[in-house]
Amino acid sequence: MCTHQPPCPGALSEDRALAQVRAAHPEQGWSLLCNGVIRFEDEGLLLPSGAAIDPPARSVPAHPHRRSAGRRPATRGLFAA
Ligand SMILES: [Zn+2]
């Protein structure tokens, strides 16, 4: 149970992602929140019920470095001449 003051928002609350972190695993990219919700580094959430919530659309792009890895069409012509 939550013993924080003020109490953390519940897992069914819209503010669920604002609960205190109970166990952080930054090397794995996720944190367990006080209300039982697992928050991933891209802001996606996994509820105690097993339901997943996608990251908010406003956080674009989530991983630009990962997305562009191996594909660099913009630089192809720069050194051709
Ligand atoms: Zn709490």
* Each residue's pLDDT tens digit, 19-46: 999 999 999 999 999 999 999 999 999 9
- Tell me how far the alpha carbon of residue 12 lies from the centroid of ligand 1, in angstroms: 14
Q: Does the pTM of the predicted model rise above 0.75?
A: no
Confidence of residue 81 (pLDDT cuts 50, 70, 90): low
- Distance, CA 4 to ligand 1 centroid (Å)? 4
Q: How far apart are CA 38 and CA 53, in angstroms?
A: 10
Q: In what order do the strands lie in the sheet with 45-46?
A: 21-25, 30-33, 38-40, 45-46, 52-53
* Residue 5 pLDDT: 95
Distance 26 CA to ligand 1 centre (A): 20
Q: Compute, in angstroms, the gap from residue 40 CA to the centroid of ligand 1.
A: 18
| CB-based neighbours (< 5 A) of ligand 1, an ion | 2, 4, 8, 20, 34
Percent above pLDDT 90 for the chain: 65
* Residue 72 or residue 14, greater confidence: 14
Quick check: 56 and 65 in contact, CB under 8 A? no
